[in-house]
Amino acid sequence: MFCWLNRLYRGLSSPTGRTTQLIWGSLSRSLVLSSRRRIPEFSSFVARTNTCGELRSSHLGQEVTLFGWIQYRRQNTFLVLRDFHGLIQLVIPQDEKMPTGEIEIKVKTAELLNSCKKLPFEIKDFVKKTEALRLQYRYLDLRSFQMQYNLRLRSQMVMKMREYLCNLHGFVDIETPTLFKKTPGGAKEFVVPSREPGKFYSLPQSPQQFKQLLMVGGLDRYFQVARCYRDEGSRPDRQPEFTQIDIEMSFVDQTGIQSLIEGLLQYSWPRDKDPVVVPFPSMTFAEALATYGTDKPDTRFGMKIVDISDVFRNTEVRFLQDVLSKPKGTVKAIRIPEGAKYLKRKDIESIRKVAADHFNQEVLPVFLKASRHWNSPVAEFILEKQSLELIRLMELQEEDVILLTAGEHRKACSLLGKLRLECADLLEARGVVLRDPALFSFLWVVDFPLFLPKEENPGELESAHHPFTAPHPSDIQLLYTEPEKVRSQHYDLVLNGSEIGGGSIRIHDAELQRYILATLLKEDVKLLSHLLQALDYGAPPHGGIALGLDRLICLVTGAPSIRDVIAFPKSFRGYDLMSNAPDSIPPEELKPYHIRVSWPADSEAEKSSLDHPHHPES
């Protein structure tokens, strides 16, 4: 039974410790969290005098007024009352029984404020429920300890960030529009029809243009906790709307932004976690690729990629020979510590399958036996000298396994980067502790290329990040000769192998911006004329960054999905399973917007199937 109780008076009595101890135990994390500043007054403006979690033996003898849910009751004598700060035992006085426990409340009057139907699931963390059910009854799921903890921590962390930016460093919190103009090539932008025929707003993916315009407007330290939109259809751990900590500064360089962010995270970091150590290490994009096979390395553990091309210059292994004879051919490997002990035959098979399926590439597993002999299809072709050199270069121990591949540098690195993470998962599944769950390993990745070859037409260039990114000062001349070699002033912030932020120093020179847009990227500059014009009117040098708030909080709380740090998330197909959005709209309500639905040709059957009230997702 769930119901509301009101007006419970007069604290009293001795030990029933069991219950209250248990509660305080389970809430200790959030208590630690709020202890660093003045504890907020949770009972201001309401009739209650205390929250359920707050009472201690020091309150003995006081009259209190509590509100909460009945957690359970026994023999109409004992009640446990719950709110989101804790639980407390109540005694409805009947005789002079003397219960055990530190404190309990002797009830004077009680009022039932609401009753509760049978719940679709119990609000207990150990009761497993599907995510679809949790999302359908999100307002009940929010009562769980974990969701309360995640959302309260998120609020507190964002508040600390605001204090740091606004109060300590003079940033101005400015709201920018979300009904804007479609960005050229912004294929992932939702459109919003207006009342003028054929005219649409667009929901921007970030306040990028606005924040640069604010710098031109002299609001020289801007930030915003900005709602952003991205329509990617179905993507497992993405949301159609998400939040970023959006920052821009004038007269700043890359080092300045990096120090700002290091300070921001240090200042806002929850007290119940290990403190953030600054400055964060930094690595170039080239080094990240060569060592970790990715631009977002998980630096909590080793198993780095080693280039072993030189070992095999004179090899008799045919496929290594073939690769090394090509101009960009390399041989690379990663070491899996004690892999011989932990990896099973089927693991190795699945690893080789990943390589073949996703990278169209061969991986050779090589086991170093206790006998210091190799166990591998190619073992017989490895010379003694090569073997010793390999052991030295890769610091191999007995029972280690190396995974070896050969191919073009970038491709070989990407493959081994992926296998490194797969093997880490495998080892951890077997009980090896590779990544300390209490460890937060931050890393700056810098010196990205400014341009990449277009996927659909590798002869042309596209921006590696966005067209407003400034080129690296040392590479300016290359813009006019070999633009594909120009490095940018873009920087990414990586935490435990996830990208949690990215930004850049921007172009503030209108001519340079025009050259890059029109000549190198072949974009229609008309669509960005307002921005180009703004740069012409004395734009200051400026740069900024955006942190992905949902992802950051997800990593901080250790939540399995970003949906666990958002109060009302969409499912991975973009549905709100509680209200059933998006939903059909009668044609007459579309009329003011001058749009009509184009039903797919074969869709009469489909159309009727869409009238189902719910779209269950597995």
Q: Which of these ranges, 94-102, 251-259, 331-339, 373-381, lies near its own copies under the rule CB under 8 A?
A: 251-259
For the CB of residue 39, give the shortest distance to its own copies in the complex, in Å: 8
What DSSP character marks residue 435?
S
For the CB of residue 235, give the shortest distance to its own copies in the complex, in Å: 12
Instruction: Calculate the dihedral angle through the C-alpha atoms of 43, 47, 48, 49, rounding to the nearest 10 degrees.
Output: 70
**By the rule CB under 8 A, 26 interacts with its own copies:** no
Q: Report the residue number, 499 or 576, with the smaller CB distance to its own copies.
A: 576
- Which pairing describes strands 282-284 and 442-446: parallel, antiparallel, or unpaired? parallel
Residue 350: how many other CB atoms lie within 10 Å: 14
Contacts with its own copies: how many residues (CB under 8 A)?
A: 139
Reduced to 3 states (helix: H, G, I; strand: E, B; else coil), residue 600 is coil
For the CB of residue 73, give the shortest distance to its own copies in the complex, in Å: 14
**By the rule CB under 8 A, 72 interacts with its own copies:** no
Tell me the DSSP string of 297-349: --TTS----EE-GGGGTT---HHHHHHHTSTTEEEEEEEETTHHHH--HHHHH
Structure tokens at 267: 């200042």
Reduced to 3 states (helix: H, G, I; strand: E, B; else coil), residue 484 is helix
Binding mask 258-277 toward its own copies (x if CB under 8 A, else -) reads -xx-----------------
Q: Report the residue number, 453 or 582, with the smaller CB distance to its own copies.
A: 582
Q: Which of these ranges, 183-191, 272-280, 339-347, 516-524, lies near its own copies under the rule CB under 8 A?
A: 183-191
**By the rule CB under 8 A, 248 interacts with its own copies:** no
**By the rule CB under 8 A, 280 interacts with its own copies:** no
Contact 347, 431 (CB under 8 A): no
**By the rule CB under 8 A, 44 interacts with its own copies:** yes
Cα–Cα distances in angstroms (integers) from residue 606 to residues 306, 467, 589, in the given order: 54, 41, 22
Contact 190, 231 (CB under 8 A): yes
Q: Which of these ranges, 239-247, 359-367, 439-447, 450-458, lies near its own copies under the rule CB under 8 A?
A: 239-247
**By the rule CB under 8 A, 216 interacts with its own copies:** yes
Q: Report the residue number, 47 or 383, with the smaller CB distance to its own copies.
A: 47
Q: Which of these ranges, 188-196, 316-324, 448-456, 492-500, lies near its own copies under the rule CB under 8 A?
A: 188-196
Contact with its own copies (CB under 8 A) among 69, 78, 359, 448 = 69
**By the rule CB under 8 A, 523 interacts with its own copies:** no
Q: What are the backbone angles phi and psi of residue 332, rounded to the nearest 5°?
A: -130, 160
Q: What are the backbone angles phi and psi of residue 593, rounded to the nearest 5°?
A: -100, 5
Cα–Cα distances in angstroms (integers) from residue 95 to residues 8, 92, 107, 222, in the given order: 18, 9, 13, 65
**By the rule CB under 8 A, 179 interacts with its own copies:** yes
Q: How far apart are CA 243 and CA 224, in angstroms?
A: 10
**By the rule CB under 8 A, 581 interacts with its own copies:** yes
**By the rule CB under 8 A, 84 interacts with its own copies:** yes
Residue 525: what residue type? V
Instruction: Calculate the dihedral angle through the C-alpha atoms of 39, 42, 47, 49, rounding to the nearest 10 degrees.
Output: -40
**By the rule CB under 8 A, 473 interacts with its own copies:** no
Q: How far apart are CA 182 and CA 205, in angstroms?
A: 10
Q: Report the residue number, 372 or 594, with the smaller CB distance to its own copies.
A: 594
For the CB of residue 530, give the shortest distance to its own copies in the complex, in Å: 5
Q: Which of these ranges, 185-193, 270-278, 334-342, 486-494, lies near its own copies under the rule CB under 8 A?
A: 185-193
Beta-strand ranges (E) seen in 207-260 are 221-229, 241-250
Structure tokens at 378: 């190619």
For the CB of residue 279, give the shortest distance to its own copies in the complex, in Å: 13
The interface with its own copies within residues 527-566 (CB under 8 A) comprises 530, 534-541, 566
**By the rule CB under 8 A, 37 interacts with its own copies:** yes
Contact 355, 405 (CB under 8 A): yes
**By the rule CB under 8 A, 614 interacts with its own copies:** no
Contact with its own copies (CB under 8 A) among 241, 338, 399, 462 = 241
For the CB of residue 520, give the shortest distance to its own copies in the complex, in Å: 21
For the CB of residue 54, give the shortest distance to its own copies in the complex, in Å: 11
**By the rule CB under 8 A, 22 interacts with its own copies:** no
Contact with its own copies (CB under 8 A) among 168, 277, 388, 439 = 168
Q: Across the chain, which distance is largest between two alpha carbons, in Å?
A: 94
Q: Which residues pair with 576 in a beta bridge?
A: 581
For the CB of residue 422, give the shortest distance to its own copies in the complex, in Å: 32
For the CB of residue 466, give the shortest distance to its own copies in the complex, in Å: 16
Q: What are the backbone angles phi and psi of residue 294, rounded to the nearest 5°?
A: -160, 160
Residues 6+ apart with CB under 8 A from 66: 5, 8, 48, 49, 50, 51, 52, 81, 83, 88, 105
Contact 513, 507 (CB under 8 A): yes
- Dihedral sign for Cα 126, 131, 136, 141, please: positive
Q: How far apart are CA 361 and CA 411, in angstroms?
A: 9
Q: How far apart are CA 509 and CA 534, in angstroms?
A: 10
The interface with its own copies within residues 89-128 (CB under 8 A) comprises 113-117, 119
**By the rule CB under 8 A, 509 interacts with its own copies:** yes
Residues composing the chain = 618
**By the rule CB under 8 A, 202 interacts with its own copies:** yes
**By the rule CB under 8 A, 369 interacts with its own copies:** no
For the CB of residue 159, give the shortest distance to its own copies in the complex, in Å: 5
**By the rule CB under 8 A, 499 interacts with its own copies:** no
**By the rule CB under 8 A, 572 interacts with its own copies:** no
